[in-house]
A and B are shown apart, each in its own frame.
Chain A
Amino acid sequence: MIEGRTVMQGWANVPLSQSRTARTTLFFVVLALVCLAMADIAITTANPWQDLMRFFWGVMTPDFFSSAGLATALLRTLAFAFVGVTLGAAAGFLLALVYRFRLVRTFAAFIRAIHELFWALIFLQFFGFHPLTGVLAIAIPYAGIFAKVYSEILDEADPEPRNLLPSGVGALSAFVYARIPDCWEQLRTYTSYRLECGFRSSAILGFVGLPTLGFYLESAFSQGHYSEAGAVLILFYLLIATIPLWVRPRMLPFYIVAAPFFLGDGMPIMWGNVRRFFTEDIVPAPLREGSSNDFWPWLSDLVVNQALPGIWNTLLLTQMALVATGVIALLAFPLISRHFGNRVSRTGGHVLLVIARSTPEYILAYILLQLWGPSMLPAVVALALHNGGIIGHLIGRQSSTFNLRPDAPRGLMRYGYELVPRVYPSFLAFLFYRWEIIMRETAILGILGIYTLGFYVDSAIQNIQFDKAMILILVTALLNIGIDGLSRRIRRRLALQTMPTC
């Protein structure tokens, strides 16, 4: 909380206009308003509220027995998550050991800049409906994320035990006995947190055809079978909410060993397809056909008509969603803070935030798009609810650790003058940390029909033009790496530090 205090002093001593934090906040709010003015925001359905009520009614009257495949889908969701996250953690750990090399860092940044769904869409093209598609779609981006976070955790380990070791101790022994024990708890906490993210990722893979919960959710929803959709959602919430009960350290090895046997068999892999994909499919069409003169016109057409509009819309949506996330987080954290309300209201707040943060943005956006019609509005709301739920939960928990003076003001004054200033630095830290995550999600929401980069990637794949799809995915990854770098610089400038979230 050291930075918290510095910023507090800053607020007390300098006018608001000169505080870096305040100026940064103002800048992003104004930027979001400008984006709002240019963006396509509308509710186009005739009866949006009627549909919303029908949906809530469906959730209230879930039908668990409509589809015999639901139990299998639940099992597959777990299996893909366990295998994917385990492989990702193992690979990420190895990468973390050599993370000081720029090449490794760049590689890790690149693989995590591509969303799980994009990875799945790529693997589907040559592995088809084989379990490997789902496993790798989770393992690869997660390896990039694990590499970064593990290396940060390892770097922060206390160097003292290492210095006390006698000379001649091997590097491996020193690592295992002096470094790991110090950060074991953090590694463990982060990994188990990531497992929860893995369940979410695994569930949404169903939207592109893998046999997880998303598969049934998509079918039920698109057909207006809200009671079935409600059942899938409730199963999913139960799964996430009961994690502390069934994901126990003792049980983990058992789950990890068992999971591969529950992936299902899918369809056989034909290795010729893999070769063809890399040596033909993704080679730009003009080069493949030997007319390299056509390459530049081909590329500029792709950039002008697809990449640039995609980037523009992705940025618009990201900036609006970022600020909306901040607003939701600041509004939501008092719901669970011990400085407000009573035990009952806080329990209600916890339930609300658990629902908001455990529903993947992709699913939220899908639901809202069905209910409100296509525009950026459902996407902004979905991103803000999910991310705002996460940050609201984190800063709400933090605010409960503060002790206020007995004569501290109450109500709005307590919120505005006591709590918000105290949580603000970590609030901004979380928000900027999630900036890159919000952008990755924004791009992927294009698959649902919003004209962000994902829309053009999906269109290229639908036209069986993988060369175009790969270039657009590459553009998405670079944009994401750019935002990641920018966010790191802002956080450094504002002296913000935080633990990562997914």
Chain B
Amino acid sequence: MLKKLLGLATIAAAMQTYAFSAAADTFVFTAIPDQDETQLIERFGAVESYLEEQLDVDVKYIPVKSYAAAVSAFRNNQVQLAWFGGLSGVQARRLVPGSEAIAQGEEDPEFQSYVIANTSTGLEPMDDLSDALEGMTFTFGSKGSTSGRLMPEFFLREAYGEAPDEVFSRVGFSGNHTRTVRLVEAGTYQLGAVNYKVWESGVEDGSIDTDKVQVIWKTPYYPDYQWTIRGDVDERFGEGFKDRVTQALLDMDDPELLQRFPRTGFIPATNEDYAPIEETAEALGLLN
């Protein structure tokens, strides 16, 4: 027992040190885990070095396991910048007064979700969601995803007049877009909703087998991903820091880096750009 108590004292002492050991002036960012982790680490590892070069401070990317973890880390000021989806960005900016959407992909103001189907369903591409989908199994992406959950759910409700779990025989949440594609391809679910960018880059690099899974419906356009920064970064990293970060993001022109997002480039964004997302999320009860 005595030894244990001794151990305890050491632990208490060690804990104290740990609480302060992370360098206070490292600029930390995260991103919603919307795709396979390997892809995220490659993409944001590259962003990390790019920003470090541009901003002349230590920059660190931390991977997280859920959309909510990304929002919480941002809210708790453990990260100061994040690549959010439409919904997670709105959640984060509501929770952190003064935070701002500063840049979005060129494609993001007109983003889309695709409804995809395993070819064994016999479904063909359609202009309006048909009754043939009813009673099938369906997977969203993450519960907190804009293109994998919020907007598809909104349009499904609009088309069928009831909640997805009334329309479909089984509704699941795959976790991310890569997994949605894989699950529908394997037939685990007959249908799925997926980020159109993830779909198209998967088709392009051959990782999606279009004999097994195909797009059957495309949603109308809506705004999605953006970089959001905390309002207090200037106090911490110096006057004009926020503008420098914004400029660095807008200046990103390395084709290889952009390809990893995949976006053709970045353009300015404002909080107001995401008002439609906020309204939809409120209507679905996903925001208080």
- Chain A residues within 8 Å of B, Cβ to Cβ: 40, 44-47, 51, 83, 86-87, 89-90, 93, 124-126, 128-132, 207-209, 215, 218-219, 222-224, 252-253, 256-257, 259-261, 263, 265-270, 273, 285, 373-374, 449, 458-459, 461-465
Contact = CB atoms under 8 A, between A and B. Distances in A.
Contacts of B182: 224
A124 B18 CA distance: 16
Interface in B51-74: 62, 64-69, 71-73
A268 B62 CA distance: 13
Nearest to B13: A260
B132 interface: no
Interface stretch (B3-11, B236-244, B254-262): B3-11
B62 A222 contact: no
Contact of A218 (B65, B77, B172, B287): B65
A373 B36 contact: no
A462 B144 contact: yes
A163 to B, nearest CB: 24
B136 to A, nearest CB: 11
A267 B29 CA distance: 12
A47 B186 contact: yes
B15 interface: yes
A270 B77 contact: yes
B68 A267 contact: no
B266 interface: no
Interface stretch (B102-110, B154-162, B173-181, B216-224): B173-181
B20 A124 contact: no
11 contacts: A44-B170, A90-B8, A124-B69, A130-B18, A131-B15, A208-B69, A222-B176, A257-B10, A260-B10, A270-B78, A464-B72
Contact of A256 (B7, B75, B172, B288): B7
A256 B4 contact: yes
A373 B178 CA distance: 16
A273 B142 CA distance: 25
Contacts of A128: 72-73, 76, 78
Contacts of A45: 186-188
A465 B37 contact: no
Contact of B178 (A51, A83, A223, A257): A223
Contacts of A40: 170
A267 B78 contact: yes
A46 B187 contact: yes
Contact of B62 (A89, A129, A130, A464): A129
B208 to A, nearest CB: 13
Given A47-B187, A223-B37, 19 more contacts: A44-B189, A86-B7, A126-B76, A128-B76, A128-B78, A132-B18, A209-B65, A215-B65, A218-B65, A256-B4, A257-B10, A260-B10, A260-B18, A267-B78, A270-B76, A449-B172, A458-B143, A459-B143, A464-B71
Q: Which 3 A/B pairs are nearest by Cβ-Cβ distance?
A: A46-B187, A260-B14, A256-B7
Contacts of B288: 285, 465
Interface residues of B, number: 59
A285 B288 CA distance: 8
Contacts of B72: 124-125, 128, 464
A443 B200 CA distance: 37
A224 B179 CA distance: 10
A222 B186 contact: no
B226 interface: no
Contacts of B6: 253, 257
Most central of A285, A374, A449 by chain B CB within 10 Å = A374
A46 B144 contact: no
Contacts of A83: 11
A129 B79 CA distance: 11
Given A44-B189, A129-B73, A222-B36, A449 B173 contact: yes
Contacts of B3: 252-253, 256
B91 interface: yes
Given A128-B73, A131-B18, A223-B36, A257 B7 contact: yes
Nearest to B1: A93
Taking chain A's interface residues, is the majority helix, strand, or loop, or is none over half, making it mixed? helix
A128 B65 CA distance: 12
A90 B5 contact: yes
Contact of B78 (A218, A253, A268): A268
B256 to A, nearest CB: 22
B81 to A, nearest CB: 14
Contacts of B37: 219, 222-223
Contacts of B65: 207-209, 215, 218
Contact of A267 (B4, B22, B71): B22
B236 to A, nearest CB: 12
Contacts of B8: 86-87, 90
A51 B182 CA distance: 12
Contacts of B120: 46
Most central of A222, A224, A465 by chain B CB within 10 Å = A222
A267 B60 CA distance: 11
Most central of B6, B21, B73, B172 by chain A CB within 10 Å = B172
Most central of A126, A268, A285, A464 by chain B CB within 10 Å = A464
B118 to A, nearest CB: 8
Contacts of B173: 449
A449 B272 CA distance: 34
A462 B19 contact: no
A89 B78 contact: no
Given A44-B188, A260-B15, A464-B68, A268 B144 contact: no
Interface string B69-104: 101110111100000000000010001000000000
Contacts of A459: 143
A208 B144 CA distance: 15
A339 to B, nearest CB: 41
Given A46-B188, A223-B178, A268 B19 contact: yes
Contacts of B1: 93
Nearest to A126: B76
A375 to B, nearest CB: 8
A401 B126 CA distance: 69
Given A132-B15, A260-B11, A463-B286, A86 B4 contact: yes
A467 to B, nearest CB: 9
A261 B179 contact: no
B60 to A, nearest CB: 10
A224 to B, nearest CB: 7
B69 to A, nearest CB: 6
A464 B143 contact: no
Nearest to A83: B11
A449 B173 CA distance: 7
Contacts of A90: 4-5, 8
A266 B22 contact: yes
Contacts of B228: none
B91 A464 contact: yes
Contact of B21 (A219, A265, A458, A464): A265
A129 B62 CA distance: 10
B21 to A, nearest CB: 5
B248 interface: no
